[in-house]
Amino acid sequence: MTRPRVLQMPAGIVRSLVLHARHARPRECCGLLVGSGPRVVLAVPLRNMARGQTRYRIDPREHVALRRVVRETSPQLAIVGVYHSHPRGRAYPSETDVAEALYPDWVHVIVGLGGGRAAVSAFAIAAGAVTRLVLRRT
């Protein structure tokens, strides 16, 4: 899959990511993004398995279960990315986020709650390189 330069996401999904991030604070929230190509049609909030407040880890069983469900969709959808929050930081990948980006074709959406106002940004992360994507709310 060619990574998109623009990520399309319904405004309602963007709002749901911000709400998930606020609800999970002071811990990071996380979830998977389902869609097709550069378009997200569903955000699936998942439990953060990481200890502490400054990391996230998706439960591999939940990831596999979602893959099975998505495989049965028609028209065909796929897991196209992951989202998580930075409860006291900005909406930009941390060094840990870059080091642990294991799926180079996925988009990474980050909700930053630092600075008093929520910010949501999207990125492609591959081989240690971070590319900001245009997040188009549809």
Q: What is the pLDDT of residues 46-75, one digit of tens each?
A: 999 998 888 999 999 999 999 999 999 888
Q: Which of 46, 43, 122 is nearest to 77 (CA)?
A: 43
Are 80 and 88 a contacting pair, CB within 8 Å? no
Report pLDDT for 135: 95
Q: What is the pLDDT of residues 73-106, one digit of tens each?
A: 888 999 999 999 999 999 999 999 999 999 999 9
What is the DSSP pairing of strand 107-112 with strand 30-36?
A: unpaired
What is the pLDDT confidence band of residue 42, given thresholds at 50, 70 and 90? very high
What are the start-end ranges of the E strands in 10-128?
A: 30-36, 39-46, 78-86, 107-112, 119-126
What is the pLDDT confidence band of residue 4, given thresholds at 50, 70 and 90? low
Report pLDDT for 5: 87
Q: Which of 88, 90, 82, 130 is nearest to 109 (CA)?
A: 82
Domains recognised in the chain with CATH numbers: 6-137 (3.40.140.10)
Tell whether the model's pLDDT for residue 31 goes beyond 80: yes
Tell whether the model's pLDDT for residue 11 goes beyond 70: yes
Decide: residue 23, CB within 10 A, 0-12 exposed, 13-18 middle, 19+ buried. Answer: exposed
Q: What is the pLDDT of residues 101-111, one digit of tens each?
A: 999 999 999 99
